[in-house]
Structure 1
Amino acid sequence: MSVPGVIPIGHEPDYRTSTVGRWRGGQFFASVTAAFPEGWSGDDWHPQKRWYAVLHRFDGAGRHLDSRVQFTGTTADGEQKAIDAARLLLDEWLDALPERQYQDIAIAPFAVRFEGSLFGPVVEGDADEGDERDEEEDDGVWAEFHPDGLGFNAPWNGCYDT
């Protein structure tokens, strides 16, 4: 089974998808998340772990409209301080969405790069196109929501792996 055109994402209150839903203009996925710049390696990771407030907006059909991403600090600057700043900012952005309701969504894959990091649900894996598989069988292809670390795969029911 290949990745569907729109990926269902279940709303889970008080967990990783607690801030997904619909608003008058369509759908949204919001989070406070950390990212390392792509290609970074080394032992001194504290200044490289960057915290962000993120709000992705979609039309009613799940097509990506825009993304707001704002850096709020590094772990070296004080992780809790950066997280708290991101939460405050995200609350402001969410409060500005007219008719906001938290609920399940379904969105198309997309990718946004910001300050050397990847954001969005990106199709990944390496299914063999010529391999005949059962419709319900996982074919090694999934959508990874970066940098949140949420993996969506068959049976594409809105649940995710971390």
Structure 2
Amino acid sequence: MAVPAVVPIAHEPDHRTDTIGHYADGQFLATTTHALPDARGEIAARPFRLTIDGVLFGLVAEHHEAGDHEDDRAELLPDGLGFGAPWDGLYDT
């Protein structure tokens, strides 16, 4: 299954996506601080990539083929969170 145009990222309390939600001007994802302790709600992001000082940041779409197996995923970098079918917003590492 191909990476969708917009990848959902689920809010999971007490896990690595517990700092996502919405604020007045849009979506919010923080991996270093929890600025909005009462914020809830999932987000969705289009795949993107940006390199700063040699570090790749982004939600990078990937296609892997291994024999008769194909796997489309999106990787949130540099955090290393992988998203894939059924595209329900849950991640694996």
| TM-score normalized with structure 2 length | 0.84
RMSD: 2.1
**1:159 partnered with 2:84:** no
What is residue 24 of structure 2 aligned with on the other side?
24
Bigger CA radius of gyration? 1
User: Which of the two has greater helix per residue?
Assistant: 1
Q: How many residues were matched structurally?
A: 90
Q: Deviation at 1:153?
A: 0.4
Once the two structures are superposed, what CA deviation does each residue of 1:79-133 show, in whole Å capped at 9, x if it has no partner?
A: xxxxxxxxxxx35xx36xxxx8232111111112122111111001235xxx9xx
The list of structure 1 runs, each at least 4 consecutive aligned residues, that deviate by more than 6 angstroms after superposition, is none
Q: Deviation at 1:157?
A: 0.3
Q: 2:77 is aligned with what amino acid?
A: H
Verify the 8 A CA contact 1:10 1:104 in the aligned structure 2: yes
Aligned identity (percent) is 49
Residues 79-118 of structure 1 mapped to structure 2, 5 A cutoff: 90-91=33-34, 94=35, 101-118=39-56
| SS of alignment partner, residue 102 of structure 1 | coil
Cα distance in 2 for partners of 1:12, 1:150 equals 13
Q: 1:125 is aligned with what amino acid?
A: H
Uncovered stretches (5+) of structure 1, i.e. residues with no partner: 33-89, 132-137
| TM-score normalized with structure 1 length | 0.50
Cα distance in 1 for partners of 2:46, 2:17 equals 16
**1:140 partnered with 2:71:** yes
Distance 1:6 1:143, change over 3 A: same
Verify the 8 A CA contact 1:152 1:160 in the aligned structure 2: yes
Uncovered stretches (5+) of structure 2, i.e. residues with no partner: none
Verify the 8 A CA contact 1:2 1:139 in the aligned structure 2: no
Cα distance in 2 for partners of 1:7, 1:139 equals 18
